[in-house]
Structure 1
Amino acid sequence: MTTNTKFNLTSRILIAMALGILVGSFFQWILGGAAEKEVSLAGFSIGIKALFVDGIFHVGGQIFVASLKMLVVPLVLVSLVCGTSSLKDISTLGRIGSKSMGLYILTTAIAITIAIFFALLFSPGVGVNMPLAQSYQVADTPSVAQVFINMFPSNPVEAMAKGEMLQIIIFAVLFGIAIALSGEAGQRVRQIFEDLNTVVMHLVNIVMHLSPYGVFFLMAKLFTTLELNDMGNLGIYFLVVLFVLLFHGLLVYGTLVKLVGGLNPLMFFRKMKETALFAFSTSSSNATIASNMATTTGKLGVDNKVASFTIPLGATINMDGTAIMQGVATVFIAQVYNIDLTAADYLLVVLTATLASIGTAGVPGVGLVMLAMVLQQVGLPVEGIALIIGVDRLLDMTRTAVNITGDAMVSCLVGKSEKCLDLAVFNDPDAGKNDKL
């Protein structure tokens, strides 16, 4: 793939996103708030919403998302087995794992602390006094102990079938270690996985180049169904969450890249823009694993034995954007209900949201479920979640972009500390542009 074509892929994604917004807004204007509007065509009555919004846009968008999710299990399993089995010193895996976990937990704690600070500063819920429009039914949230128990698979095949990412990661790591310790037999198995990895990456390449069409369908449906009245009612909350997401994603991550990694943050963000667009359009960290891994290794220069571990792990447990939403939402709901939280309550929020991020799956909207756990810990009414449902979809897109940027940032820092980061590739603005993906 030529350099120009690679640039055109990014351009096509941006164009598709813009067209999707325009088309979605146009259909929302046509519907005018009505549930359905029918037009006559060749003697037949056709529902505009049924044909376009629930038909073409919905089907096209869901096929794209399903195609991305289709890649997740084989990509994570094969890449992680290849990366782990290539380690000649198993202690290296322990260092990579401990550094990754430490950085992910640290950035999540920073994220929610900043979120609470700015939420208290701007007070988005003071004076709102919004009536509850609906009751939010939340699924049972697992205990912290159960989260750790659920990390270990009793049946790895079932874990792969259900897409249980933490279980897949642990199985792949153990399987890779077994290959590394199995001598000549292990090397034969490792070569099979290396060949599988090549095939899977070509599959990733096929799906990624169809992404502009999927992005168009997703944005068109979103902006057709987006309730702008809800956005107006919760404007302050929306803007505070958006501000903190950008503050954390740009300033905090940029500072860590510069001070901890000694790397150029502008170069880092420049190379992350395409993957961030994928994350924004899909609202799923898991669906963005393929694009993020390709960017981290091909453009940022992180060795695959690091990226194959840090990227899938980050997509599963690194939920800085979700933690920010939980922090601001907790303060907002407390202010709306005129409930005073103590310093101990806020500390409990930080600890609970940080731990909750480990059990937060990288799929759209799951942050609201985990928010229920946080609210329950400090005695706030769970039904308060109904207040923010109207604007959460658009914020979910932004916080997913922040999440995957954090995954790549940690990958660079860990790679640099392990001497597994090619600085020439990182500093080359054209690195990765000639790759197929």
Structure 2
Amino acid sequence: MEEKVSIVLTSYNKPAYLQKAIESVMNQTHDNWELFVMDDHSNEETISVIHKYLHDPRIRYENSFVKPEERIKTTRYATLINSALPFAEGDYISYLTDDTVYHPERLSRMVQTFSHKPEALAVYSRQKVIHVNERGEEISHFYRNADAVLDQAAFQVDHCSVMHRRSLLDRILHKYGSYWDDDMKHWNHGDSIFWTRINNFAPFLPINEVLDTTYKTPNSFQNAYQSLPADLIDGSFVKGSDQNVYFIDQGLRRPVGDIWGSLYLNRTVTVPDPYLFQYRIGKMLNIPNYILVKEAGHPAIFYIEDEKKRRIMGQYAFRFYQFKRKDILTIGKEELEALPEGLPITRERSSLIENPPNRRLFLIERKSFLFLHGVLHPISEQVVRKFFLHQKPISASFRNIHKFSIGKPFYPVYDEIIKKLNIAIE
């Protein structure tokens, strides 16, 4: 009898792709498999897709019914996988997500590799990655190769391209106290942490054939955190899966009313829920910070900072700090008068830059900096493109802006994680 493969599929709100993923398992040439569909409390459309396949006794389904407030406490897909693994009866374990499909020969080729190489404990295959738009149309594609034995597979091998022997799980559980590490800090690289655990016992052997295809949609996990810094930037409009728009304000996420829709319509950054909901919710802002306002019929223009109004003194200051007239919003006299006065925003030609407005980009010695709360923060071009599409950098030099200290950089979180994580083999 063929050796059995246990597959753990994690799912959340991708009904069309989930259907393809499940059917790709059912179409395998290797028949002896069991599939755990671990759904993280998806919508009704997704659940109805799952129920279409439960007539097959090889498919087992579990809904987490996780509450929203619990969703941010762990790395959810790792938690779901850990729930399934104690019940896995297969000789081999494999993983699948709801935006990936196995090729028909996938299981048979991997099981065959284990049969030919009894010493092998973990294998991985080549993968095709297809980027699609909102309509599901292909934009581009590339391949992740599998042409080397990997002693450190972290950040090199995809979640869905791996199979390992069931016997590894007991050794991992004994050493670490769990299978996958579902600590929330690993929300976007939980597979790499698990690969490191496997690598403490065995290398990953390659199968340089394309055995799965993964689809990267605009809402895919990887795209959602691409170019995000470790900390969300004050003054950013952001939203998670619930589509509610929030304004990041000094460590809080503050709900934004529909009245400000013109502000955030084309400036809202989508971020993963674990990333967003680590910020405690605050009260709704009457007037968001970092916007330009004026009273109807009056020429004075103000920039809102820390719920104070800073008057912009003169056209030169307005142009120098890259403000735009189309961004000026008209508000009521009473609303404007209710805001306390802040320092005016001034700019004299050929003088030091003093008390500049917050949340302005500067280009200093060919490097980008964000001025925020009296500090210049180095910021990468990827983060600039994601958060500051509507703002040009202000040319300056350390000679005329030297009094401000250099603070924590805003670099992509993925780069920072790789630098900080110790993924050396123990």
Q: TM-score, normalised by structure 1?
A: 0.23
Larger Rg: 2
- Please identify which structure carries the higher strand content: 2
Higher relative contact order (CA 8 A, sep 6+): 1
Structure with the largest fraction of helix: 1
